[in-house]
Chains A and B, each alone.
Chain A
């Protein structure tokens, strides 16, 4: 009994070693940069983290193919380095000693990439699946470009300034014209009254006055 158990375990181990090795078929390399992502809050990569990783991959496979046959034991990790990097494969429990095709694994990982990243507090760049490209998120485009709004504000201010200056210029011009015409009228009136050197009112007021001296002189002339 014990011998058969040991033998099966041995066979399984060999099989696993065969399935999971660098550059094996349907195997993917993962590279994790915890210190880059978290700095001082970095956690250490140990067996528990590896267990979580296997669980997340199994979760991804289950969600993708929506059949609950993938177990944590189906995910094999190997060649863990200090970097931290390792290879993993997903075995198919229904078929004997085979791996799930790489395309399926890739699609499953892609679909659940966000969940996997968040489980480890990492991002696409710090938790890298080397053969799986991440889809780039489209940039957020507001309906009106921001620069157009700013431009509108600037232009309104400028136009308001120009209108104000032009209008005030026209008003000043009109006032100057009105002032100059008023001044001209005033000068004319003043000139009229002083034209003869004698105020007209004075002339009007003075009644005709016979100068006795001249009247007397007239009689002194001998008539011819």
Chain B
């Protein structure tokens, strides 16, 4: 079916300046926004420290084996995703095409998230921060109504940033400020990826290391804030009962899978620029462990800050109640403090129950405030920004925080773009004489134009759709076919020999077992469970509707049928590539075409001679 390609000595392929650059690029690709805003949330809702058990089991049996597989594949075959899978078997080229498609779809919406980060960043240079105060209404008699009913932070996010429409069917208009930021973001991506790994290799030193610096600064600051310890205790207190819920195991498996950025083709591309005699086994273990450690490390400052925010909200609640009581009973100031609040309340309740009832005091419970868990954009742009207002020197903290988020996202974008760029370079879409800068420019320009649709009023709803459907199920399918393809079509014995040739030592039994049985089974069960869970309830979303009666709660709405069709399309398109391309190749063979494959001959200089 296929022949072993010979690896030419000097093939003019770009290569990493040094090993550290390569490792850093892989780590930067894996470590992204999800490490900061998804992992701590999962830890919190799934029983704190107890979540680490399914997390590390998934890392051991799913994350590390799949990572090793991809890195070894790219390093040995020295081609991007489409070329590599074509080499394994022309019938499996669809796996590469599927990866390539997912990389495109994810790049489109991921950079728009970075646009929002950039918007917040450039707004952090003002005093006071624009999300800390509500604007006045037209006749200056009070605050803007939408802002007053929700909070200033919510208003800035939903109205001033997104200018969100109440329904996904209403597209709204293009937001010019977001278009400016989007252009700047794609310009930055172009600047860094202009010559492929030549330029990303230099940029990665900054974008991969800077977030760790900022996380450390936030860690030190976070631990000094009042209420930080409550937050940390809440996060890490293990509750082993949650492990009985299969949902926890599913979340751990999916988190590891998506966190390591597997099946995008970017890792294969990165590894293909390596010298072949490189220890890919050690690299895989290193990258996976650093990624998980980063998630843990990031959750400490995140939860210190969230604990601080909850404590401050709790104190505010108490203070508001105290003021009401003091004003009602005309007691001297500072007679009721937070410490003796409960004793005073019980005393007053027994003596003047009607007066206390008339005050309508809110019950203040610290646990309730700690329980308000958010993940994703809500964590970064609503909860964290609110906490930053409360810190002294908020501008500096805001600037640091948003630069950190931007670096995290940018280093992941490098991997995504590389997953798009390398296969196109190998397929020689542009003539060889044209410079690489042209191809990267064209990719960035086309992506920018398509991503303009995310700057509409309904843009954030669409990004949620892309995130839930294009960036989830197809990856699981592609990874499954990756493992099956390498183990059963390329044959595990041959692959083991290749890896042994590269690393210079015998392959551990652990890898054999993981690749042959555990990882495919795990992927299959995760895929089934994931799809079943998605199918259980009709796909719905929460909309920000100021006219909703429950405002400021978000309104739960169901997707209209045409949107549901797009969701299915997004999920199915990359997956369907796998059988489609195989079918296409089968038909081509049957039609008696003398060409060995549909890929240009340069990719298979020795293939043509051998087949």
> Is B333 an interface position by the 8 A CB rule?
yes
Q: Which residue of A lies closest to B185 (CB)?
A: A158
Which residues from chain A contact B195 at a C-beta distance below 8 Å? 165, 169
Given contact pairs A138-B140, A150-B122, A85 touches B330 in the complex (Cβ within 8 A): yes
Contact B142 A136 (CB under 8 A): yes
Which residues from chain A contact B143 at a C-beta distance below 8 Å? 136
Contact A162 B327 (CB under 8 A): no
Which residues from chain A contact B133 at a C-beta distance below 8 Å? 139
Q: A81 CA to B332 CA in the complex, in Å?
A: 8
Contact B125 A83 (CB under 8 A): no
Contact A83 B180 (CB under 8 A): no
> Is B191 an interface position by the 8 A CB rule?
yes
Contact A33 B333 (CB under 8 A): yes
> Is B326 an interface position by the 8 A CB rule?
yes
Sample (25) of A-B pairs whose CB atoms are under 8 Å apart? A31-B327, A33-B333, A34-B333, A35-B334, A82-B331, A83-B326, A83-B331, A83-B332, A83-B333, A136-B140, A139-B136, A146-B123, A147-B125, A147-B126, A147-B177, A151-B180, A154-B184, A158-B184, A158-B191, A159-B187, A162-B190, A166-B194, A166-B437, A169-B195, A170-B435
Contact B191 A165 (CB under 8 A): yes
> Is A66 an interface position by the 8 A CB rule?
no
State the Cβ distance, B322 to closest chain A Cβ, in Å. 11
Which residues from chain B contact A31 at a C-beta distance below 8 Å? 327
Contact B333 A36 (CB under 8 A): yes
Chain B, 128-153, CB within 8 A of any chain A CB: 133, 135-136, 140-143
State the Cβ distance, A160 to closest chain B Cβ, in Å. 10
Smallest CB-CB A-B distances: 8 pairs: A81-B330, A82-B332, A150-B122, A83-B330, A35-B333, A147-B122, A158-B187, A146-B126
Number of B positions contacting A (CB below 8 A):
33
Q: Which of A165, A170, A173 gathers the greatest number of chain B CB atoms within 10 Å? A: A165
Contact B437 A151 (CB under 8 A): no
Q: A158 CA to B177 CA in the complex, in Å?
A: 17
Q: Which of B143, B181, B184, B330 gathers the greatest number of chain A CB atoms within 10 Å? A: B330
> Is B188 an interface position by the 8 A CB rule?
yes
Q: Which of B141, B177, B191, B435 gathers the greatest number of chain A CB atoms within 10 Å? A: B191
User: What residues make up the interface of A, taking CB atoms closer than 8 Å to B?
Assistant: 31, 33-36, 81-85, 135-136, 138-139, 146-147, 150-151, 154-155, 158-159, 161-162, 165-166, 169-170, 173
> Is B199 an interface position by the 8 A CB rule?
yes
Q: A146 CA to B598 CA in the complex, in Å?
A: 55
Q: A31 CA to B330 CA in the complex, in Å?
A: 9
Contact B327 A158 (CB under 8 A): no
Which residues from chain B contact A151 at a C-beta distance below 8 Å? 122, 180-181, 184
State the Cβ distance, A146 to closest chain B Cβ, in Å. 5
State the Cβ distance, A206 to closest chain B Cβ, in Å. 43
Given contact pairs A35-B333, A83-B326, A173-B435, A165 touches B122 in the complex (Cβ within 8 A): no
Given contacts A35-B334, A83-B327, 13 further A-B contacts (CB under 8 A): A36-B333, A83-B326, A83-B333, A85-B327, A135-B140, A139-B136, A151-B180, A161-B191, A162-B194, A165-B191, A166-B194, A169-B435, A169-B437
Q: Which of A33, A169, A173 gathers the greatest number of chain B CB atoms within 10 Å? A: A169
Q: A135 CA to B142 CA in the complex, in Å?
A: 9
User: What residues make up the interface of B, taking CB atoms closer than 8 Å to A?
Assistant: 118-119, 122-123, 125-126, 133, 135-136, 140-143, 177, 180-181, 184, 187-188, 190-191, 194-195, 199, 326-327, 330-334, 435, 437
Q: A108 CA to B412 CA in the complex, in Å?
A: 63
Which residues from chain B contact A84 at a C-beta distance below 8 Å? 332-333
State the Cβ distance, A170 to closest chain B Cβ, in Å. 8
Which residues from chain A contact B333 at a C-beta distance below 8 Å? 33-36, 83-84
Q: A36 CA to B136 CA in the complex, in Å?
A: 26
Contact A155 B184 (CB under 8 A): yes
Contact A165 B194 (CB under 8 A): yes
Q: Which of A35, A146, A158, A170 gathers the greatest number of chain B CB atoms within 10 Å? A: A158
Which residues from chain A contact B437 at a C-beta distance below 8 Å? 165-166, 169
Q: A165 CA to B180 CA in the complex, in Å?
A: 22
Given contact pairs A35-B334, A169-B195, A162 touches B122 in the complex (Cβ within 8 A): no
Contact B199 A165 (CB under 8 A): yes
Which residues from chain B contact A83 at a C-beta distance below 8 Å? 326-327, 330-333
State the Cβ distance, B540 to closest chain A Cβ, in Å. 34
Q: A139 CA to B126 CA in the complex, in Å?
A: 12
Q: A150 CA to B190 CA in the complex, in Å?
A: 20
State the Cβ distance, B456 to closest chain A Cβ, in Å. 20
Which residues from chain B contact A146 at a C-beta distance below 8 Å? 123, 125-126
Q: Which residue of A lies closest to B143 (CB)?
A: A136
Q: A35 CA to B334 CA in the complex, in Å?
A: 8
Which residues from chain A contact B188 at a C-beta distance below 8 Å? 158
State the Cβ distance, A163 to closest chain B Cβ, in Å. 10
State the Cβ distance, B32 to closest chain A Cβ, in Å. 22
Which residues from chain B contact A139 at a C-beta distance below 8 Å? 133, 135-136
Q: Which residue of B lies closest to A83 (CB)?
A: B330
State the Cβ distance, A135 to closest chain B Cβ, in Å. 7
Which residues from chain A contact B334 at a C-beta distance below 8 Å? 35
Contact B123 A82 (CB under 8 A): no
Q: A150 CA to B123 CA in the complex, in Å?
A: 8
State the Cβ distance, B159 to closest chain A Cβ, in Å. 15
Q: A58 CA to B331 CA in the complex, in Å?
A: 28
Contact A138 B435 (CB under 8 A): no
Which residues from chain B contact A36 at a C-beta distance below 8 Å? 333
Q: A70 CA to B177 CA in the complex, in Å?
A: 57
Contact A138 B136 (CB under 8 A): yes
Q: A28 CA to B194 CA in the complex, in Å?
A: 71
Which residues from chain A contact B327 at a C-beta distance below 8 Å? 31, 83, 85
